[in-house]
Each structure stands twice: as C-alpha cells, then as structure tokens.
Amino acid sequence: MRARILVVDDDPDALQFAANALAKEFEVVTCSRGDEGIDRAAREAFDLVVTDLAMPRPDGFDVLRAIASLDRAPGVIVLTATDKARETMEALRLGARDYIVKPSTDEEIRDAVSRGLQGRRGDTETAAFGLVGISPAMARLRQLIPLLARSSESVLVIGETGTGKELVARGLHEQGPRCAGPFVVHNVAATPSELSESLFFGHARGAFSGAHADHAGLFEQASGGTLFLDEMDSLPLALQPKLLRALECRRIQRVGGNVDRSVDVRIVAASATDVSELVARGTFRADLYYRLRQLEVVMPPLRDRPEDIPLLIDHILCEWTCERGQTARLSPLAEDLVLAHHWPGNVRELRNALRGAAVLAESGVITPQQLPRAVRNAGGSTPVVERLENVERQAIARALDRAGGNQSQAARLLGIDRGTLARKLLRRPL
C-alpha cells in the first residue's frame, strides 16, 4: 500500500507542483487552506503531512500544533522560504521532522518526504553525537542537529555548564557541508581583553611589542570550517562591533595590517547565561546578539531528564573501562544515590563524580563512600531508594513502550544487555 501524504498550501501553483512531484510514488491529498488541512488530518489517516508555514490563519504553525495533538499524529514537514530561518527553527521546535526550502525541486521534495516516512532520525540512536539519553528532549536534540547542520547561519547554543554545548557544535560541523574544514574551539572567557582583537583577527609583524611575525587569527584559522565560541557572553564590549563587521562582511583585517582578507566561517556560539539580559543592561550589543542567534538550540539540564541517568552511568563507566582496562560498576546503594542527586553541574559533574569514584574502587565496585559528599547527601529527608525506583521505572517503562514490549530492543535503547534489564525488572517490577 502506498503511503498517504497530505499537502497543505494556499499557493495553488506550489500546491500543484508538490502534488505532481509526489504523485508517482505516493497517494497525495491536497488542501488549499489550513483549516481544511486540520480537518482532513483529524478525520483521515495520513502517513505524513507537508504544510507551508506562510498561510493566512490558521497558518502552518497552527496546522503543526493541531496535528501534534492528535492521538495518532503523522509526521509533519514544513515548506519555508530561504530567508525564514527563525520561523523554520520554531517549526522544528514544535515537532516538524524536516523542512523544504522554497522554491524546491521535485527531487528535494521526494527526498524530504522519504526521510520523513522513515521516522525521526535519532529515535533508535541513544548516543548519536555523544548526546546520550532516551528522553524526548535528547531525541529531539539529536534530530535537530543534522537539520540545522545544512544551514550556514550562526547558531547560539544556550545551556547550563556541563550540558554538552560543545558536542552540539561538533555535531553541527561534522554533519554539515563544512565537515572537511577546520573545527576551531575558543573559550572567550579565557582570553585577556587586551589580546582579544589580535586573537580573533590576527596581527601583522611589528604591530605591537612582541609581534615578531605575522599571525593568523581565529577567523583565518577556521576559514572553510566552523568557529565555536564558548562563553560568548564574555566578549569585550570594545571588540563586539569589529566582530559584527567580520560576520556581516566576511572580511577581516589583521591588527597593524592594511590588507582586507576574505574569510568563510560558520559561527557556533555558546552561553550558560541569558544573553538578552546582558543586552538589556547594555553590556552586549543587540545587533551582534541577533546576528549570533540566527538559529538557537537550548540544552536540557540533567535534572529535567532523570530517565537518562542510568544510560549515562553505563556510558561513562564503559568509557572508563575502555580507557583503563579496569571494570567499574556502582553498588545498588551507590546507584540509588547517583540517581537521586540533583546534578547542578549536569553531565560534566556526573562524569567527574563517576570517574573519581572509579579511581578509588579497588575492587571495581563503587560504594557510597567513594562518591563525592554532595552525591552521598543527595537523598536529604526523602528516602533515596524510593526516588531511584521512580526514576528507573520511568526509564525502563519508556524504553519498553518504544520497543513495543520487546525486552531485547528495550535493552538496546537503554544501552544495557538483556540480562541486566531482566535483573532490573526482577528487582523492581513495573
């Protein structure tokens, strides 16, 4: 049976073009209004919906929200204009599986629909890009990376310390057309402000005392690739207009030099703070903020995805075993304490705590006494085991649900072997 595709677009020419592109391979139903598309999707079964975003209300966003609320919601692909990066990002956040930039070719439409019918990328990959977890937030993040990687727009990654912002930046680089170019990482907060201009744009020989040779700055070093600016909220105010000019003109001039140099760099910036508050205080330029924030990714903190902690534990301890040739595992009570902790330092804190404890675990079994004090005190007045059981039950139940009750497949989703899952089910039945 051919897949049924619903196409919604108020432009009759675009609607007919999409229908013709898909008609040979799929059963296509077309609607020229958003309300009509919503009604058809609610009454009939479709495998995928393709909707334009820019329509009179209800627009494509309304169609996307309405379909997401259905009991058996089909996937959605959005049609978007080339200059609508912000709207495209919002559609992806709302659950769109992919996007097609208008005007498009027959092949581009068919390829996007084929990808959409295959399901969300990352649904069965619990550690793609180093982003480990089975939570919906992490699955969505892994899905976003290859979609955003196609673009050349700057990306701002917002998240608390230790959430994996650099992993996202690397994923965007490696999945995009710049993957053969350099990936240059710079922590802005680690650079003295008086050296920032030379570091970013380079300097000519003799530009200042100690400049004994020409020096290529970060923009030149990253040309043809990606420049990742961590803690970008620490950019000196005096440097910001020069950075903005470099981004807008794609040209730089070395300190002490008089030659304009062409650079081709994609910027991925990261911040653990709300940069809009710095803009309001006048310590960060609004125009640079909006230029860096053409696309935005928000990293979920670990406390909001506790179902991912068991998988992270196994992943981190497996890394330890591969590096050191020494096995390490948590005792049941130590595991209870780890799962009950709030993890204000997120995955970085979890990794450091487990690796530090593994060093002390001479027998290979990590006990509560070898965990950091903050983790040992995680339970407070609430019984730790009770908190653990809720977290672990939630993770196992979610995996079994996604696997249709198949324990072998659920174990793969959790990153453990089937025997471990069986033991957990015996110890804590659902």
For 87-126, write each residue's pLDDT tens digit.
887 788 777 888 888 888 999 899 889 888 875 433 435 7
As a whole number of angstroms, the distance between CA 102 and CA 48 comes to 19
The residue type found at 396 is I
Q: Is it true that domain 303-427 has CATH number 1.20.1050.10?
A: no
User: 3-class DSSP state for residue 164?
Assistant: coil
What is the model's pLDDT at position 347? 96
Mean pLDDT value across the chain = 87
Contacts (Cβ under 8 Å, ≥6 apart) of 346: 160, 161, 162, 163, 164, 301, 302
- pLDDT at residue 28 greater than cutoff 70: yes
Q: How many CA atoms lie within 13 A of 110 on its CB side?
A: 11
As a whole number of angstroms, the longest Cα–Cα distance in the chain is 75
What is the model's pLDDT at position 48? 93
What strand order describes the sheet that includes 183-187? 183-187, 226-230, 266-271, 155-158, 295-298
| Beta pairing partners, 19 | none
- Integer-rounded Cα Rg, in Å, for the chain is 25
Q: 4-117 has which CATH code?
A: 3.40.50.2300
**333 token code pair:** 């009570």
Q: What's 270's DSSP letter?
A: E
Contact (Cβ atoms closer than 8 angstroms) between residue 326 and residue 294: no
What is the model's pLDDT at position 219? 95
What is the model's pLDDT at position 128? 83
What is the model's pLDDT at position 1? 66
Find the Cα–Cα–Cα–Cα dihedral 199, 200, 205, 206, rounded to 10°.
Answer: -70
What is the model's pLDDT at position 294? 93
As a whole number of angstroms, the distance between CA 244 and CA 235 comes to 12
- pLDDT at residue 52 greater than cutoff 60: yes
User: How many of the other CB atoms lie within 10 Å of CB of 69?
Assistant: 10
Query: Hunting for tokens 């804190």 — which residue is that?
Result: 349
For 121-155, write each residue's pLDDT tens digit.
334 357 788 898 888 889 889 989 998 998 889 99
User: How many of the other CB atoms lie within 10 Å of CB of 54?
Assistant: 17
Stretch 283-301: mean pLDDT, rounded? Answer: 95
Stretch 280-285: mean pLDDT, rounded? Answer: 95
**401 token code pair:** 């649900």
What is the model's pLDDT at position 385? 46
What is the model's pLDDT at position 263? 94
What is the model's pLDDT at position 119? 55
What is the model's pLDDT at position 384? 47
Stretch 7-35: mean pLDDT, rounded? Answer: 94
Q: Where does the chain hold its CATH 3.40.50.300 domain(s)?
A: 150-298
What is the model's pLDDT at position 239? 94
Contacts (Cβ under 8 Å, ≥6 apart) of 226: 169, 172, 173, 176, 178, 181, 182, 183, 184, 265, 266, 267, 268
User: 3-class DSSP state for residue 380?
Assistant: coil
- Which of 357, 307, 305 shows the shortest CA–CA distance to 329? 357
User: How many of the other CB atoms lie within 10 Å of CB of 104?
Assistant: 17
What is the model's pLDDT at position 350? 97
At 86, the pLDDT band (50, 70, 90 cuts) reads confident
Phi, psi for 222 (deg, rounded to 5): -95, 0
Find the Cα–Cα–Cα–Cα dihedral 132, 133, 139, 140, rounded to 10°.
Answer: -80
Stretch 245-269: mean pLDDT, rounded? Answer: 92
Stretch 49-63: mean pLDDT, rounded? Answer: 93
String of b and e for 356-385 (b: at least 16 CB within 10 Å)? ebbeebeeeebebebbbeebeebbeeeebb
User: 3-class DSSP state for residue 100?
Assistant: strand
Contact (Cβ atoms closer than 8 angstroms) between residue 5 and residue 28: yes
Query: Hunting for tokens 């919601």 — which residue is that?
Result: 73
Stretch 47-64: mean pLDDT, rounded? Answer: 93
What is the model's pLDDT at position 189? 93
User: 3-class DSSP state for residue 51?
Assistant: strand
Q: Where does the chain hold its CATH 3.40.50.2300 domain(s)?
A: 4-117
Domain topology for 150-298: Rossmann fold (3.40.50)
User: 3-class DSSP state for residue 423?
Assistant: helix
For 326-382, write each residue's pLDDT tens digit.
788 899 889 889 988 999 999 999 999 999 999 999 888 999 999 999 998 865 544
